[in-house]
A and B are shown apart, each in its own frame.
Chain A
Amino acid sequence: MNTTTVNAEKLTGFKLPQLRQVFSGIIVSGVIRLVALPLAGILAFLLLWSVTAQNIDTSLGKFPGPAAVMEQFNALYDEHQRSRKKEQAFYERQEKRNAERVAKDPNYTPKIRAYTGKETFLDQIITSLVTVMSGFLLAVAIAVPLGIAIGLSKTLNSAINPIIQIFKPVSPLAWLPLVTMVVSALYTSPDPVVAKSFLNSLITVTLCCIWPMVINTAVGVAGIDNDLVNVSKVLRLPALRHVQKIVLPASVPMIFTGMRLSLGVAWMVLIAAEMLAQNPGLGKFVWDEFQNGSSDSLARIMTAVLVIGFIGFLLDRGMLTLQKLVSWDKSASQ
């Protein structure tokens, strides 16, 4: 050991222990920063959680710890599997019944009705995701053009800004009763394409995530480098070309920042709206469990809370990745 060190020292002219120290220092600090520290954080959180949980006695039993949540996660998954089997049996029974009726009454055209069983936890997750994405996309479709228009025109900005400033801080849930009543009044098809509850959630989400996008887009558009605007003027680009070639690319980082903010808001709003209005989705799941008051309820709610958080995190990461892909300004997308 000793001799090799000495030889290496002679050969390279460097003191090997120093070199080793430098390299291992880099590796160790990387490992610590990327793996060990987050892991330690999570472990500490789990420990704190389970210790605290054991010391909180509610009238429905102890506050659920990590183990109880894991158990419920499995139980919910099993429930989902069982429900799928029931669904299959439902369709089989229906086909048999249809066949019997056709045998008796040849004029009857058999119809397959959708499964009437309950939505499982996984179904609720999908419902929530579909709702939040629909509401968000609708908001994008409204907010980005509106933001560009406001950013380009000072007059429009002065006219619309007060409205935005007043509506922006309104709690999403204050919109909900109004949305519910208006949708009920206007959307009265006997055979609706989408459910009223879906429409209610969607519009509430849209109303709440429009504002950050409008503001960010407008600020981004208004703040375009004057040189770029001058280029456009020199080239005499028509208005639409100007927006397409100069404004949009230049303001993409800001637009995406707005979108990321909005999606975060949208996800939070949706869960709250579902809880309040009993619209299908994760929020309804939480509220139903609270109303059930069973001894599993708290653990199930905690499971839903973690899933909601995790999905929120994934949505944010997804937007960030998208932002990095389409944005020229890589430094802005941290």
Chain B
Amino acid sequence: MQWTKPFTKLAASLALAVGFSSVVVPASAEELGYPEKEELTFGFIKLTDMAPIAIAYEKGFFEEEGLYVTIEAQANWKVLLDGVIDGRLDGAHMLAGQPIAATMGFGTKADIITPFSMDLNGNGITVSNAIWEEMKPNIPKMDDGRPVHPIKADALKPVVEKYKADGKPFNMGMVFPVSTHNYELRYWLAAGGIHPGYYAPHKGDTSGQIDADALLSVTPPPQMPATLEAGTIYGYCVGEPWNQQAVFKGIGVPVVTDYEIWKDNPEKVFGITKEFAEKYPNTTVRITRALIRAAMWLDENNNANRPEAVKILSQSNYVGADYDVIANSMTGTFEYEKGDKREVPDFNVFFRYHATYPYYSDAIWYLTQMRRWGQISEDKPDEWYKELAAKVYRPDIYQAAAKSLIEEKLATAGQFPDFTSEDGYRNPQTHFIDGIVYNGQKPNEYIEKFAIGLKSGQKL
């Protein structure tokens, strides 16, 4: 029976392999478990940075997690936030400031968390053609006659001063009081010496126009171009494709991108209520897994999938703008003045540079800006900032999702931050338009560095 030996050996190893695999699969599935809630509705605003949600749906990543997701466009950020709070939506593409402000109780009070940061960069500031003509003489030019970028608000300052002297209000638009866009626009203006105004919620002032040179007000993102065209505002800060749309429509000129204001700044997050995460832990991890896979797909092979992503986003149920308009910023370029198209390979980052990891330091940056502009009316110790950030940003859920993806060989450990050593804080960041360095560990020290903005001990 010598000849049977190799066969028995083979049969044994086969049996072992089969047995082993049949053990492994349920084991990992057991670890994660089936989703407790399978039918979900997610909200979004028509902006290109909602891409991870659209991709997770279209590429079947949600379905592979056993999730049946309906994706609904929302009219504005307020409606979206209310939808998540009252349960009409299970989760949504949110402004990073929304879960933070809600948890803090600025505006609406609700416990909202985020296990997943959606992207880096992706916004721009656009001014109307008329304002651009007035700004142009103040901007240095390159040899070929095109303006030197990044353009600072210094170029806008004389224009705003002229409006002020004539007694005309200088109106600009942003998308929500706690939006990235509000803080970016304020950051840019203040870096150029233009005061964007303070909030004083303790006195009931939530318009944010106290002491303002430029008056900032809220307009929903897709309405920005139409509002600019109507002359209600002279400029705005919004996400894509609404800056490029202004170029295509010939109604405005994007002067600066948020990439130039703060290189690789954290942008939107995926928000769910704390209650949802506690009630449906498996569902929460599975949503995060699908979103991570979508983000990886978006940045894969040096953005090779972007054209396909643009095609998906241009469908009327997602962003709906023309392919060319969306492609302008999503495929590594950005068009400033008509015809002045420049390379900005990192304009929209979805996965590189650990874009999706919810760093506490990202949340704290938003809190520093809320304090700087008076939305947080009183001084808070550094510990307060850190505690609040840890309440909202949930790297623990992200890690559970990432680890299971690594285990299933859908991702490699090298693609994520080193979970054993990282502490939720990015290294001090230096790429700001005014050269100020941000260290998330020391929020109060950071707030002190700004020429315009509330300082410690100051209360309006």
Interface residues of A, Cβ cutoff 8 Å to B = 59-60, 93-94, 97, 101, 104, 111, 113-114, 116, 118, 184, 196, 278, 287-289, 291-295, 297, 300
Contact = CB atoms under 8 A, between A and B. Distances in A.
B314 interface: yes
Contacts of B249: 59-60, 293
Contacts of A292: 46, 222, 316, 319-321
Contacts of B316: 118, 288-289, 292, 294, 300
A101 B251 CA distance: 55
Contacts of A113: 38-39, 68
B231 interface: no
29 contacts: A59-B225, A59-B250, A59-B251, A60-B249, A93-B60, A94-B63, A94-B68, A97-B66, A113-B39, A113-B68, A116-B57, A116-B69, A116-B70, A116-B71, A278-B74, A288-B317, A289-B316, A291-B73, A291-B320, A292-B46, A292-B316, A292-B319, A293-B226, A293-B249, A293-B321, A294-B316, A294-B320, A294-B321, A294-B325
A236 B386 CA distance: 84
Contacts of A116: 39, 57, 68-71
Given A97-B66, A294-B314, A289 B320 contact: yes
Nearest to B45: A291
A317 to B, nearest CB: 31
A278 B89 CA distance: 14
Given A116-B70, A278-B74, 13 more contacts: A59-B250, A97-B63, A114-B39, A118-B317, A278-B73, A288-B320, A291-B320, A293-B245, A293-B249, A294-B314, A294-B316, A294-B321, A297-B320
Contacts of B428: none
Nearest to B82: A184
A104 B66 contact: no
A297 B321 CA distance: 9
Interface in B59-92: 60, 63, 66, 68-71, 73-75, 79, 86, 88
B345 interface: no
Contacts of A111: 38
Nearest to B39: A113
Contacts, number: 70
B322 interface: yes
B434 interface: no
A251 B97 CA distance: 61
A59 B79 CA distance: 28
A291 B66 contact: no
Contacts of B69: 116
Interface string B315-329: 111011110010000
B169 interface: no
A85 B165 CA distance: 62
Given A59-B250, A184-B86, A292-B321, A278 B229 contact: no
Which of A104, A116, A118, A295 has its CB near the most chain B CB atoms (within 10 A)?
Answer: A116
A59 B317 contact: no
A158 to B, nearest CB: 42
A293 B46 CA distance: 11
In the complex, which of the residues A101, A111, A293, A300 has the most CB atoms of chain B within 10 Å of its own CB atom?
Answer: A293
Interface of B: 26, 29, 34, 38-39, 46, 57, 60, 63, 66, 68-71, 73-75, 79, 86, 88, 222-223, 225-226, 229, 245, 249-251, 314-317, 319-322, 325
Contacts of B57: 116
Nearest to B75: A278
B26 A104 contact: yes
Contact of A291 (B39, B70, B223, B322): B223
B420 to A, nearest CB: 33
A290 to B, nearest CB: 8
B11 to A, nearest CB: 24
A160 B427 CA distance: 71
A292 to B, nearest CB: 3
Contacts of A93: 60, 63
Nearest to A275: B75
Contacts of B321: 292-294
Nearest to B88: A196
Nearest to A61: B249
Contacts of A104: 26, 29
A114 B40 CA distance: 11
Nearest to B26: A104
A8 to B, nearest CB: 68
Contacts of B68: 94, 113, 116
Given A59-B229, A116-B68, A278-B74, A295 B320 contact: no
Nearest to A278: B75
Nearest to B316: A292
Contacts of A59: 225, 229, 249-251
B80 to A, nearest CB: 11
A51 B344 CA distance: 43
A285 B345 CA distance: 35
